[in-house]
Structures are given as structure tokens and as C-alpha cells.
Amino acid sequence: MVVPWLVKTLLVIPPWLQKKYPQLQWRIPTKKKILFLTFDDGPCPEHTPFVLHLLRAYQAKATFFLVGKQIEKYPDLVRLILQNGHAIGNHTYSHKDAWRTPLKTYLNEVFITETLLKPFLPKQYPLLFRPPYGHWKKTLICSLKDRYQIVLWEVLAGDFAKKLSLTQCLKILLQYTRPGSIVVFHDSIRHGNRMRYLLSNAIQHWSQQGYRFCSLWNGY
């Protein structure tokens, strides 16, 4: 399949960009058939339980980047994520855009969410942070890099890209993932239905290809 340049650019992070910003984690260097599935914007009672059930069926571990407001609403879902052996990370309190938010306000969102996460976090694991939309500034990275492992991604599933067909998103997702790829899905009300289709089909394909699935806490 030949992927249109613009579509690929929207969903796949090119190697040159990964090399330009090595302080950000785009993938895990490995030759083993391991993928790092991540889920943003939850927890969400409509879709997170589905994700957990599907991951359990494939003996898969993943990483969930949680929004502070959702943590407050659904603490039992946070506990359920951890009980299933998955990792959790910080995704700001209200899904702020770093490009449109003053640094002080943005950092306050991060630290509020850190306070909400602390009761759940095992002390031996690193603090993980992912900026919403993948938007960041150098001042933000400088402010957080010594405290957080800042995680971006190599491939987006495209569950948010409603102008693209699910078939097209799935083909790109399967074509460009490789050993060590960090892949993003969204277990949210807004994108959950598309996520279900893409995750169900992709994890079945990857499993048939001999991949296993690790969290960013247990995948090293």
C-alpha cells in the first residue's frame, strides 16, 4: 500500500524528528517483537473496561495517560487499571494545550494531576507524562525533564482522525508499527468507538505476527 504523504505525516513520527529531540521518548529501542500500547484521555467508564478486557484476553500490558478530572470522577477505574498490571501516567488535569496555555498554568495542571495520582502510584516506578495533543515547548520540557519521563509516540492509531476511514487508519497503523513502537489510542467518549475497532483488529494482527505487549513500567 502506498500511503498518501499527508496522511502518513499526521499519524507517523518520522525518524529525523525523533533524533532531533532525544530527550523525549518516542519509542523503546529494541529488536524484540514488543509493542508499547498507550491510551490517552481516560479513564472512561464507557470504554476503559472494554480496553482492559481486550488486553487481558491477549495477556497484554499497556500504559494509560490519565486526565486529572477523570481521575477524580472514576478512582475505581484507576484502581482497576493497576489491578490488571498496567502503568499509569499524567496527562494534565483538563487536557490543556501547551501551545495555547501559559507555562505556569500548564505546570499547575501537571502538578495537580500528580497529586491525584500519588495515592495510586507504586513508589518504585518512574513518573510518566504525556502532553495532550503531543504539543510541547522547550520551556515545558526543561521544567519537567528532571522529574518526569516525557513520553510521546511513534504511531498514532488515528481513532481521533474522523476525516480518515477506519480502514485507512488501520492499514497505516499496521504498516508503520515496528519492534519498540509506542502506539497511541484514546479510551474516551469522543474517540472510543473508533478506538474499539482499531484496537480489536490491530491487536489480533500483531498477536498473530508474534508480538507481545508491555507497559512502560515493565517493558524494559
Is there a catalytic annotation at residue 186? yes
Which of 86, 91, 186, 191 is an active site residue? 186
Which of 203, 210, 205, 208 has the alpha carbon at shortest distance from 61?
203
What is the pairing mode between strands 155-156 and 212-213? unpaired
Contact between 35 and 177 (Cβ < 8 Å): yes
Q: How many helices (H) and strands (E) does the chain have?
A: 9, 8
Amino acid letter for position 43: P
Tell me the torsion sign for CA atoms 125, 126, 127, 132.
Answer: negative
Contact between 137 and 122 (Cβ < 8 Å): no
SS3 label, residue 33: coil
Is there a catalytic annotation at residue 91? no
- The full 3-state SS of 90-150, as one line of letters, equals ECCCCCCCCCCCCHHHHHHHHHHHHHHHCCCCCCCCCCEECCHHHCCCHHHHHHHCCCCEE
Question: In residues, how long is the chain?
Answer: 220
Which of 40, 41, 159, 187 is an active site residue? 40
Grid cell for residue 23: 530527550
Q: Hey, which residues are catalytic here?
A: 40, 186
